[in-house]
């Protein structure tokens, strides 16, 4: 599904002492099947932006066009939009409420009016995608599970609706490094297997750098940078000026450059950096 965000502005509590302009004339186009990393400091407008994409928030001004359909138009049925655009909130496990994992994941598909058989199939598939054992966990209470498992149950609940666009708002927030890496790996698999459009919100460059096709950097309600990861990391000064780190490995290469060892400045994986440094050591680079 294609997504077009046109001149989007959003103001919380307008005309009150608490008025906050959370988004200021944002323009973004996302192609079907793209994997987007949306990054920015706390308060930069990421969550407000994502909540516009399934109609949870209506723009103060501007339009959201999904597959050619302007979803800000009042005649559009948001139920239909939400079938296609799945939003996993930050800390989604706080919204688990059923007595079993099965029932929790079934909630969305049942609401879509699917038959029990189809629902069961979807639950199995969704649990498999996030590496949860259906047989072992379906009858357990979500509240007995570990933090990482609860997070996965919540993600599976959105996957079970088979969205064509999947938005994950800080899906690794608060998890230990191992669960974080596993969940990122599962998200990558989802993109490869189902070719859906994914918008991954994060405030960690390390998390998204190695996964996404394109990065959108938000700052104070504006899009500050937008492009392929390589292009974005070349702008390390801009990133640092708005309080976003670059991946440590990019930082290392910048440090080498200051010492007169000029290697490529668009590297953000350890693997690539290793190659580049080895080349330099073998004298294949005239640094
Ligand atoms: P991010 O997800 O990048 O941290 P948010 O979209 O949550 O950013 O917030 C953008 C701005 O809007 C911030 O200044 C924040 O304080 C404000 N904001 C967010 N949610 C609300 C709300 N429900 N009411 C009032 N202001 C809000
Ligand atoms: Mg947020």
Please write the tens of the pLDDT for every residue from 174-211.
Answer: 999 999 999 999 999 999 999 999 999 998 888 888 89
Chain centroid offset of residue 123 CA: 22
Residue 255 has pLDDT above 60, yes or no: yes
Classify 172 as helix, strand or coil.
Answer: coil
DSSP type of residue 173: T
Nearest protein CA to atom 22 of ligand 1, as residue: 12
Chain centroid offset of residue 16 CA: 32
Residue 245 has pLDDT above 80, yes or no: no
As residues whose CB is below 5 A from the ion ligand 2, the structure lists 46-47
Distance from residue 230's CA to the centre of ligand 2 (Å): 25
Residue 265 has pLDDT above 80, yes or no: no
Distance from residue 60's CA to the centre of ligand 1 (Å): 14
41-94: per-residue pLDDT in tens?
999 999 999 999 999 999 999 999 999 999 999 899 998 899 999 999 999 999
CA atoms 138, 164, 79, 62: torsion sign:
positive
pTM of the model: 0.91
What is the rounded CA–CA span in Å between residue 198 and residue 191? Answer: 7
Classify 136 as helix, strand or coil.
Answer: helix
CA atoms 184, 264, 253, 271: torsion sign:
positive
Indicate the average pLDDT of the chain: 93
State mean pLDDT over 130-135.
Answer: 97
Q: Assign 261 a pLDDT band (cuts: 50, 70, 90).
A: confident
Instruction: Work out whether strand 197-202 and strand 222-227 pair parallel, antiparallel, or are unpaired.
Output: unpaired
Residue 287 has pLDDT above 60, yes or no: no
The minimum-distance atom of ligand 1 relative to the CA of 51 is 6
Enumerate the β-bridge partners of residue 217.
39, 225
pLDDT for the residue 234: 85
pLDDT for the residue 286: 59
Determine if ligand 1 sits within 6 Å of the CB of residue 171.
no
Q: Assign 143 a pLDDT band (cuts: 50, 70, 90).
A: very high
Token pair of 75, please? Answer: 């005649």
State mean pLDDT over 263-276.
Answer: 84
Q: Give 99 or 286, the one with higher predicted confidence.
A: 99
Instruction: Work out whether strand 222-227 and strand 85-88 pair parallel, antiparallel, or are unpaired.
Output: unpaired
pLDDT for the residue 50: 98
216-243: per-residue pLDDT in tens?
999 999 999 999 988 998 888 899 898 8
What is the rounded CA–CA span in Å between residue 261 and residue 264? Answer: 10
The minimum-distance atom of ligand 1 relative to the CA of 42 is 4
pLDDT for the residue 269: 82
Pocket probe for ligand 1: among 9, 19, 22, the residue whose CB has the most ligand atoms within 8 Å is 22
Distance from residue 10's CA to the centre of ligand 1 (Å): 10
Residue 262 has pLDDT above 90, yes or no: no
Q: Nearest ligand to the C-alpha of residue 49? A: 1
Residue 141 has pLDDT above 70, yes or no: yes
Q: Which uninterrupted H or E stretch holds 145? A: none
Determine if ligand 1 sits within 6 Å of the CB of residue 236.
no
Q: Assign 160 a pLDDT band (cuts: 50, 70, 90).
A: very high
What is the rounded CA–CA span in Å between residue 135 and residue 123? Answer: 11
Q: Nearest ligand to the C-alpha of residue 39? A: 1
Instruction: Work out whether strand 61-66 and strand 3-12 pair parallel, antiparallel, or are unpaired.
Output: antiparallel
Considering only 88-92, 147-151, 251-255, which range has the smallest mean pLDDT? 251-255
The minimum-distance atom of ligand 1 relative to the CA of 13 is 25
The minimum-distance atom of ligand 1 relative to the CA of 218 is 3
CB 142 within 8 A of CB 153: yes
H-only helix segments in the chain: 46-52, 78-84, 101-111, 116-129, 134-137, 147-159, 177-194, 205-209, 229-234, 236-241, 248-258, 270-281
What is the rounded CA–CA span in Å between residue 79 and residue 217? Answer: 30
Enumerate the β-bridge partners of residue 28.
5
Ramachandran category for residue 119: left, alpha or beta (phi over 0 → left; psi -120 to 50 → alpha): alpha
Nearest protein CA to atom 17 of ligand 1, as residue: 22
Considering only 20-34, 126-140, 222-236, 273-287, which range has the smallest mean pLDDT? 273-287
Determine if ligand 1 sits within 6 Å of the CB of residue 47.
yes
């Amino acid at each position: 599904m294609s997504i077009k965000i046109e001149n989007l502005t959003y103001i919380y509590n307008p005309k009150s002492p608490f008025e906050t302009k959370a988004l200021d004339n944002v323009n973004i186009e996302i192609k079907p099947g793209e994997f987007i990393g949306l990054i920015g400091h706390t308060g930069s407008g990421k969550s407000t932006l994502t909540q516009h994409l399934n109609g949870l928030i209506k723009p103060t001004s501007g339009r959201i066009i999904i597959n050619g359909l302007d979803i800000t138009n009042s005649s559009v049925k948001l139920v239909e939009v939400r079938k296609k655009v799945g939003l996993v909130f930050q800390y989604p496990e706080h919204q688990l409420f059923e007595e079993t994992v099965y029932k929790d994941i079934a909630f969305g598909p049942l609401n879509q009016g699917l038959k029990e058989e189809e629902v069961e199939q979807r639950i199995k598939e969704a649990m498999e995608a996030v590496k949860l054992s259906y047989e072992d966990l379906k009858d357990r209470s979500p509240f007995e599970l570990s933090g990482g498992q609860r997070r996965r149950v919540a993600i599976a609940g959105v996957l079970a609706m088979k969205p064509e666009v999947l938005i994950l708002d800080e899906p690794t927030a608060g998890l230990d490094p191992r669960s974080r890496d596993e969940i990122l790996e599962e998200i990558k698999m989802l993109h490869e297997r189902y070719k859906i459009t994914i918008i991954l919100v994060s405030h960690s460059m390390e998390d998204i750098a190695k996964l996404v096709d394109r990065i959108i950097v938000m700052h104070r309600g504006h899009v500050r940078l937008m492009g392929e990861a390589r292009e974005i990391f070349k702008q390390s000064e801009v990133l640092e000026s708005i309080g976003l780190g670059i991946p440590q490995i990019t930082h290392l290469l910048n440090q080498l450059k200051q010492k007169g060892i000029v290697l490529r400045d668009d590297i953000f994986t350890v693997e690539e950096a290793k190659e580049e440094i080895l080349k330099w050591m073998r004298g294949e680079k005239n640094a």
